[in-house]
Amino acid sequence: MAKIKKGFRIEKDSLGEVQVPKKALYGAQTQRAVENFPISGIKMDFPFTNSFVDSLGLIKDAASRTNRKLGLLGVKKASAISKASKEVWQSRHNSEFPLDVFQTGSGTSSNMNANEVIANLASRFSGIEVDPNDDVNMSQSSNDVIPTAIKISAYKDLTEKLYPALDKLIKEIEKKEGSLKGIVKTGRTHLMDAMPLDISQEFSAWSSQLKNVKKTLVFLEKRLLEMPLGGTAVGTGINAHPRFAKNFAKELSLLIGGKCKATSSDNFFHELSSQDTAVQVSGELKNLAVALMKISNDLRWMNSGPLAGLSEIELKALQPGSSIMPGKVNPVIPEAVAMASADVIGNDVTITIAAQSGNFQLNVMLPVIAYNLLKSMALLTGSMNVLADKTIKSFKVNKKSLEKVLNKNPILVTALNPLIGYKKAAAIAKKAYSEDRPIIEVAIEETDLSEAKLKKILDPIKLTKGGIN
């Protein structure tokens, strides 16, 4: 054995001795993983959420309580493990989780990281030796712990962080929708002038799209709460009590609280070998990213100008927009949200590819699935909060600009189709456009319809109601 480095201690595992930092709560297996995977510098203690490490603590706490009630673990040890686990799920020891995301695909290193930290703490609390494998990991395997941690952390970040941000954004859009009702603008298809619509109708599309996303995510909650723990190594439940899985789910529900109703999976082989739930959730997060990108790009187009663009709305000036062009102000929040949305779409591709690596009884890309799934939730949560607070709340509508364009929109002639036919209407539209005249002026000249009737038929507000004139 090499000379012990200053500030280190000797720990042993099945491969031999390892030098571990003296102050570290983790042990030999964690240290080996630290040395084996200096790949990205991205730690499992993610900078954007504590939920994954917290979930490992919740799992160990619920498992120790279950094993105690089943008579498999002594009261003193179980109590000490629960106490130590609670400190982990309360995020009090996040610095003790130094492992790189890109590690062994089962996440065994992260599971052992949690086992070692909790065992060390529990030993201190109880004054007796608590073993990371035999005690903390009792009735478990990394192969069912990590899939369970993915589900718990995704559920917590979804319900505690993403939903509130999504609800806030919907609320702000609907408030804007209500305050702007009755303001008519030119619709656009193919980025070209189209029939008019009420601007509130345009915003209602945004809120409806977001509401549909939430419906799907709420539907997927049930799958996130179907726990793989109890399948142990390959799904057979070897070394776990027959009642362990169901009792664990009950204990977990009590620890998480709120509306959490965790259940035991009805097929552990499915849960260990597949990550289809993560794929489904990620797919809907991608859908949300697409919605946010659409809203952001609409806002950018509507704000374009102020002279050479659409200039339909004015976004609040948040910062100077150019280092060389004085007075320029850019739509910085929609741009940032669009970038974050692009990243989420990329994360979904990673999760899809990773989920394909379910070879036989185990998926071997679990840590990167956890990382990208939770990162997507964090990006979307932050994006929706800033979009609601710094854009939707504060932008103003340029009514004069809307009215100016609307009155000269040759597409209004569409409303005359039932009366004069498509070809005649097209000729009127072409003339109005070429002569830069209001459509009603040309229609008076080219049809037998009275001015009063044309005004009634071509009234932009009436045209937003649909139907046949």
Q: What is the DSSP string of 68-118?
A: HHTTSS-HHHHHHHHHHHHHHHTTS-GGG---BSSS-TT-HHHHHHHHHHH
Q: Is residue 17 part of a domain?
A: yes
437 to each of 307, 354, 378, 403, 455, how far by Cα in Å?
Answer: 21, 59, 51, 14, 15
Question: Active-site residue numbers?
Answer: 190, 322
Q: Is there a single domain that holds both residue 419 and residue 447?
A: yes
Rounded Cα gap, residues 236 and 215, in angstroms: 34
Phi, psi angles (nearest 5°) of residue 189: -130, 140
Phi, psi angles (nearest 5°) of residue 359: -85, 120
Q: Is there a single domain that holds both residue 31 and residue 150?
A: no
Q: Is residue 252 part of a domain?
A: no
Total of domains in the chain: 3
Packing angle, helices 163-179 and 199-224, rounded to 10: 160
Q: Is there a single domain that holds both residue 274 and residue 326?
A: yes
Q: Is there a single domain that holds both residue 58 and residue 155?
A: no
Q: Is residue 1 part of a domain?
A: no
CATH code for the domain in which residue 389 is found: 1.20.200.10
Query: Range of 128's domain?
Result: 8-138
Stretches where the chain sits below pLDDT 70 are 1-2, 469
pLDDT at 408: 82
Q: Is there a single domain that holds both residue 169 and residue 92?
A: no
pLDDT at 469: 66
Q: Is there a single domain that holds both residue 194 and residue 307?
A: yes
pLDDT at 42: 97
Q: Is there a single domain that holds both residue 17 and residue 154?
A: no
Q: Is there a single domain that holds both residue 128 and residue 154?
A: no
pLDDT at 171: 98
Last residue within a domain, chosen from 380, 400, 420: 400
Rounded Cα gap, residues 417 and 464, in angstroms: 16
Rounded Cα gap, residues 162 and 51, in angstroms: 13
pLDDT at 1: 53
Q: H helices within 304-365, ranges in order? A: 332-355
Q: Is there a single domain that holds both residue 278 and residue 373?
A: yes
Q: Is there a single domain that holds both residue 297 and residue 326?
A: yes
Q: Is residue 254 part of a domain?
A: no
Rounded Cα gap, residues 119 and 137, in angstroms: 10
Yes or no: say if 122 and 131 are a contact pair by the CB < 8 Å rule: no
Rounded Cα gap, residues 84 and 80, in angstroms: 6
Q: Is there a single domain that holds both residue 274 and residue 317?
A: yes
This prediction has a pTM of 0.95
Q: Is there a single domain that holds both residue 414 and residue 332?
A: no
